[in-house]
Structures are given as C-alpha cells and as structure tokens.
Structure 1
C-alpha cells in the first residue's frame, strides 16, 4: 500500500506539478488513512476498500475533534488517491465516489486596522542589519500581499526596484508580477544596498533575498518569531498569524475601492470565490464601525 502511495506522490510531483506544501499535505493525510486501514480495518489490499471503511475513518477523525475543514481536506486527498488507483488499474472500483464533503465553517480572516499596520511597520528601526531587514520584509508583505512561504523563497533577482515590481512564484509554480509601492521600494533599496550584505556568509553563496544570521535563507519559523517579537513591541493585542499582513493587504485594498479581479490576481487565487471572503471582512468591519459610532446603533 505504501508503494501505491509513493506512486501517487510521484504523480503529483511530476505530472500535476503541485507545490511542495500541497504534496506534503496529501502525503500526511493519506499516511494516516492507510495506517487506519491496516491497523483498525485490517486491510492490506486497496482493491478491497469499500465506502464503509472510508466512512469509519472519517468518523474516527471526527471523534478526535478534527474540524470540518480538516475532514474536507482528507476527503479530497482520499478521493484523488482512489481516482489515481482506478486510472492506473490498481483497483477496479472507486470506493470514495459517493463520499460527500462536509461544508467547512467559513471563518473570517483576522486583519489589522490601517492604524495597527502603520504601528507595526514603524516598529523595526533601521539602526542595524536586523531592523533594516525586518522593515523591508514587513513593508514588502503589506505592499504585495504575498504568502510568507513565497516571501522566504524570493531571490534578489526577483526584485525589480527601478521598474517597481516583484516576480513571485506561487502555488503550482505559477508566476505572477506584483507592483511595489514607493515605501516598500525604499525599504527594499536600503536592505539591498547595505543591510543584506551584513548577513552574507562566505560559506553560503545564497541568492535568497532575506537571510538569517547564519547567512542562509530565512525560514517560515524564523519569520514567525520575528513577527511575534515585533507585534509585542508594537503593543498589538490581536492574535497574529504569518498571513495577517496578507489578509490586511487584501481587505484594505477592497475597502478603498480596488477591483476584486485585480486583488485576486495579486493574491494568486485560482478561484475568485476565495478572494470574495475579503469582501465579507470589509462588510463586517463596517458593521463594527457603525455599531461603535452611530448614536442610534
């Protein structure tokens, strides 16, 4: 069964060209699924899997307190796996065909107000290479709305300051060009013209844009630690995630009249329905403002 999983993962990498994190998610979900089939259902032959075993596995996940969103993701992974097995003639039926996905609860993303963003962006002080780097990272994130995973994989050659844009490789290896604002250009210029060279190590010839104190590319965890530290210094009480500035970028653009399609393209969303959640955020924020300030609210 593990050999079939390896074949499926190879198919996702070579033929589908999915992003590394997406592939890891498929692999993680399917490993737990196959482990359940072997240990709980005593099944070692994927051709003998029936719909009932999949239902049992999903019930097992639900008993563990998994959310509707997690269940839906597992179902998508299992469905794709069984379709692959059928196509490869490993099995003669698709046990997942009549499994329905639960409707995930749609929670509105947490965003910062424009004042909070301003405070956060002003927190890093350009008195050393760390402040210069952190200022450039935050300004870039808020200026472009890119994901943190995209931020840490940017290279120096992806930045085009004179033309005012960056080149970003997103999910599914899709390239997009995103404009830069003047403030982000200035912060990046300071970093590239001096701050970055202080991180460069003779041992590591790394073209990655943002480096750590070892001269290697900054990791997602490294960025997360920096963000939490800066948020604490800025006195921001809201719960932050690595995506907070991305959510704030999209919400503030739409609040100020930006076209939904343009925001979709900048964010790199394949489906506009994903972008539309930010219109709900804007409406929710308007209601909060109304309730707070209208005398008859």
Structure 2
C-alpha cells in the first residue's frame, strides 16, 4: 500500500535526520495511520478539501483542540517531506487553519509549599525509627525530589539518571533530553547531599551496586518507573499537608521554572534549563513575568499608588 510505504519512509527520515524520539515517532505513526484509514483514497494523495473534512470530522467527534492540532502538525510535516522528496507537487496543508487552543496555565506550587514538601522529605529520610526498607525508600524519595526541584528535569530524564552524576561533586551535569539533545543543568548543594546519602544506601542493596542508573529497579528498563515516583510523590505531598491531586513530577518541574522567573531569571535561560526547543513552549510562564513586572512598578515607580 502506497500510504504505508510513504509513512514508513517519513518516519525513517524523522529518526535518522532529526533524531526524533521513539515516543514521537509512535505518535506520528498513529496520527498518520488514522488519517490514512479515515480519508477516502488514502492520505498520500489527499487534497486540501479532503484534509479539511477529516479535521472537521475530528472536531465533530469531540477531539480536543490540542489533539486536532497535533494531528495537523503530523500531516504538515508528512506533506512537507513528500514535497521535498518530489513525491508531491504541492502541499495541501498550506491553507489549513490550526484549531484554536486555550492556553492552559500550569499548576504551580508556591515557594512555601515547595519548601514544606522538601522539608518533609528530608525529615523522613533522617528518621532513625524507620524500618530498613522504609529508610531506603525515604532516602530515595528525598534524593528524587531534591534533584527534580534543583534541576527542573523531565521525569523521564530524572528516573534514568546515570549513577555517575552522584559520583562527582560538580555543580552542573549534562543530561540527554528529547531527540538525544544534551543540555547542562545545575545541581544545588542540598540536592548533591541528598544524592550522596542515597548513593551510600543504594550501593548496599543487592543487585543494584552494579547498575548504571542512580535509581535502579527490578524493572524492564532497569531504573525506577515514572509511575512509581509519581505515586510516591503524591503520598509525600499528603503527608506534608499538600493536596495530592495538585502535585505531580511535572508540577514540581513547573515550580522550578516559575520560582526562577519570580526571582529574576531570564526567560531564555529558563528555556535552556528546561530543554525546550522552542521559546514558545517556555512562554506559558509569561504570566509569572507579568506579575513580577507589575510588582516591580508598584513597589519602585515614584508615581505608583
């Protein structure tokens, strides 16, 4: 089938030339396969009218604007590939309008709430009355939350950190993010100390001392699962008196970015620290900058009330 062959060629290009991650490739495949099955005559030969009708049908079926936009993005890149390879003489997506998405502000913890969470994790890690198993779990969780808040890592990056990060005393380390791109992230003294405490216990756990991961686990990947950390984080939040429904690893990553901006960091610097390829992704935090600028004017302008 022509569609299947062209989609496969497109995915090979995205992997080889652009370093697209496996999750990204799988998402493109799903979206393009859906379009190929839904559009009469297939997706490769579809014209603008057929694509517009397909997207309209998605909207009628209740797909969120974000899902529609993702599908259109996949189609745009697919047809750009076909055009560049001489497999199409035109790009039928050129006049298609993107669905309007509501800009959702991220859930953000206050600095006071974040301090309460970290203090609770530290207190539990230092509790001498815990059983051996609970002490190991508490030390691991303390290291995880300290490192996440200090670095703003994606949860997938955090749980897969190599053990070498904790074996050095550097203030920064390199992390490989989406698409295999590397970036430098900071590491606070508290986060380094929490990692060292965890490392000492980790190395005594049977089967973990030889693992290449800082947070090893008896799992398919060899490291702690994101879902396990998310569950433990919610439990910690509840014990710290913070709504568990409000907190996730991603919310703590948002807290890292928002608190930096609130305290004077540059948006471009935060973009680099978060590993966002496009500044538009980081601009969800502009509300933080607006609040800071308003406060600056109100507090320091001679004519402010």
- Which TM class, normalised by the smaller chain length? 0.7 to 0.9
**Equivalent of 1:144, from 143, 148, 151?**
151
Secondary structure of the residue aligned to 2:246 is: coil
TM-score (norm 1): 0.85
Structure 1 residue 216: Cα displacement: 2.4
Q: 1:46 corresponds to which residue?
A: 44
Secondary structure of the residue aligned to 1:211 is: coil
**Does the alignment pair 1:184 with 2:191?**
yes
Structure 1 residue 114: Cα displacement: 1.2
Q: 2:236 corresponds to which residue?
A: 230
In the TM superposition, what whole-angstrom CA distance separates every residue of 1:217-247 from its partner, at most 9, and x where no partner exists? Answer: 1122222222222222223225223311110
Cα–Cα, structure 1 residues 259 and 199, in superposed 2: closer, same or farther, change >3 Å?
A: farther
Q: 1:171 corresponds to which residue?
A: 178
TM-score (norm 2): 0.83
Structure 1 residue 284: Cα displacement: 5.7
Contact 1:133 1:196 in 2 (8 A): no
**Does the alignment pair 1:12 with 2:19?**
no
Secondary structure of the residue aligned to 1:46 is: coil
**Equivalent of 2:33, from 17, 31, 34?**
31
Cα–Cα, structure 1 residues 259 and 201, in superposed 2: closer, same or farther, change >3 Å?
A: closer
Contact 2:139 2:198 in 1 (8 A): yes
Q: 1:295 corresponds to which residue?
A: none
Counting only pairs closer than 5 Å after superposition, residues 59-138 of structure 1 correspond to structure 2 as 59-124=56-121, 125-126=124-125, 127=130, 128-138=135-145
Q: Alignment RMSD, CA only? A: 2.5
Q: Distance in 1 between matches of 2:119 and 2:222?
A: 26
Secondary structure of the residue aligned to 2:175 is: strand
Structure 1 residue 206: Cα displacement: 3.2
Unaligned runs of 5+ residues in structure 1 are: 288-297
**Does the alignment pair 1:242 with 2:249?**
yes
Contact 1:255 1:282 in 2 (8 A): yes
Q: Distance in 2 between matches of 1:75 and 1:226?
A: 37
Structure 1 residue 159: Cα displacement: 4.2
Aligned residues: 281
Cα–Cα, structure 1 residues 190 and 106, in superposed 2: closer, same or farther, change >3 Å?
A: same
Structure 1 residue 285: Cα displacement: 9.0
Q: Distance in 2 between matches of 1:108 and 1:228?
A: 21
Secondary structure of the residue aligned to 1:94 is: coil
Cα–Cα, structure 1 residues 88 and 111, in superposed 2: closer, same or farther, change >3 Å?
A: same
Contact 1:129 1:196 in 2 (8 A): no
Q: Distance in 2 between matches of 1:70 and 1:96?
A: 17
Structure 1 residue 201: Cα displacement: 4.5
Q: Distance in 1 between matches of 2:268 and 2:199?
A: 32
**Does the alignment pair 1:258 with 2:260?**
no
Instruction: Decide which moves more: 255-264 or 241-250.
Output: 255-264
**Does the alignment pair 1:220 with 2:226?**
yes
Secondary structure of the residue aligned to 1:14 is: helix
Contact 2:36 2:43 in 1 (8 A): no
Q: Distance in 1 between matches of 2:164 and 2:150?
A: 18
Q: Distance in 1 between matches of 2:286 and 2:225?
A: 31
